[in-house]
Amino acid sequence: MKVAFASTDKVHVDEHFGHAEEFYIWEIGPEQAAFSGVVQVQSEHAPGHSDDKIEARSEALADCALVYVGEIGGPAAARLVAKKIHPIKSKEREPITVVVEKLQQVLKGNPPPWLRKAMLKNERPTA
């Protein structure tokens, strides 16, 4: 499954979803994980509606099942969940590689139902 990470330094999960200009994408499975690229999102420093920023980010991350962020607002989180992208807050600026390893451990065991569903995101036809 594809997982996005919001980071200011390419190492730690520490960026607010709405401020992120880049998301680092990993392809993660129980046995293997690999960095697969960077998704860039247009920065809207010009006056613009925050809904447009949320929409642009959620469209850019449409292939991802999870997105790890430092912070995310309630409306943005709800919009992601509606698109079947699960936002997860990283509480303590964890390194992306540590988060990847933890996620792999969960995948090897018995993942919770919401995560099993997220893992199947790109395997089922979308309505």
Contact indicator for 3, 25 with CB cutoff of 8 Å: yes
pLDDT score, position 127: 44
CATH of segment(s) 2-123: 3.30.420.130
Q: What Å distances lie between residue 122 and 27, 65, 66, 117, 125, CA to CA?
A: 12, 8, 12, 10, 8
Domain residues of the chain, as ranges? 2-123
pLDDT digits (tens, 9 = 90+) for 69-120: 999 999 999 999 999 999 999 989 999 999 999 999 999 998 999 898 888 8
Positive or negative CA dihedral for 63, 64, 70, 73?
Answer: positive
